[in-house]
Amino acid sequence: MPASTSARPHSPLTKARISQALRKPRKARTLNRDAALAMRQAGHTMPEIAAKLGVTTSAVYKFLDKATPEHQALEAFKQNRANVFADLQAKAIDLQRKVIDSFYENGVLVALTPQQKTGLMMSLNAVSGTIYDKERLELGKSTQNVGLIARMMGDSLGRIGKATSNGGDPTPETPVE
């Protein structure tokens, strides 16, 4: 058998390949944001804005969607979420103090049963603790109870199967009847 060359045949040039090879690269089009906002406020539709500014309708839509006051408020909240939680925590603590002080001033605290007092304090502490945990997590800090629970679970899982016989594999537990 004669040695053959392993040259691959070239794929035929198609009309699409030729036109693709001759095509000039597109220049990036930028959206004039001020003009887009002004046109939208004047009542123009997104396709009208896109045609006037020489960009795609989807580019106009994406920009205007992010330029809404609601979207901007949401982004501001996300960036300042830890501060919002800290502010809520301060207000909750202040409210707790006012509620407790009013009970002393009005004599209501005396009229409450021990169970009612306990329930009230547990509710106030739950609010404060929840906000505190959210604030710490938002700041990238750990909360003690999360670390404690994980450590307890790790210790418990580590003890499972530790009882061995003759230094070998753990002995399986047999049910006692």
Give the model's pLDDT for residue 92: 79
Over the stretch 134-147, which tens digit does the pLDDT of each residue have? Answer: 777 777 777 666 55
pLDDT confidence band for 72 (50 / 70 / 90):
confident
Mean pLDDT within 155-168: 58
Contact 125, 95 (CB under 8 A): no
Tell me the Ramachandran region of residue 15: left when phi exceeds 0, alpha when psi lies from -120 to 50, beta otherwise.
alpha
| pLDDT for 89 beyond 90 | no
| pLDDT for 86 beyond 90 | no
Angle at 45 between CA 66 and CA 36, to 5 degrees: 50
pLDDT confidence band for 175 (50 / 70 / 90):
very low
| pLDDT for 14 beyond 80 | no
Name the average pLDDT for the chain: 74
Coil, helix or strand for 68? coil
DSSP 138: H
C-alpha 77: how far from chain center: 12
Give the model's pLDDT for residue 117: 77
Contact 101, 109 (CB under 8 A): no
Whether this model's pTM surpasses 0.95: no
Give the model's pLDDT for residue 48: 93
| pLDDT for 54 beyond 70 | yes
* Amino acid (1-letter code) at residue 135: E
H or E segment to which residue 48 belongs:
helix 46-53
Over the stretch 28-51, which tens digit does the pLDDT of each residue have? Answer: 678 888 898 899 889 999 899 999
d(CA 93, CA 128): 7
DSSP 167: T
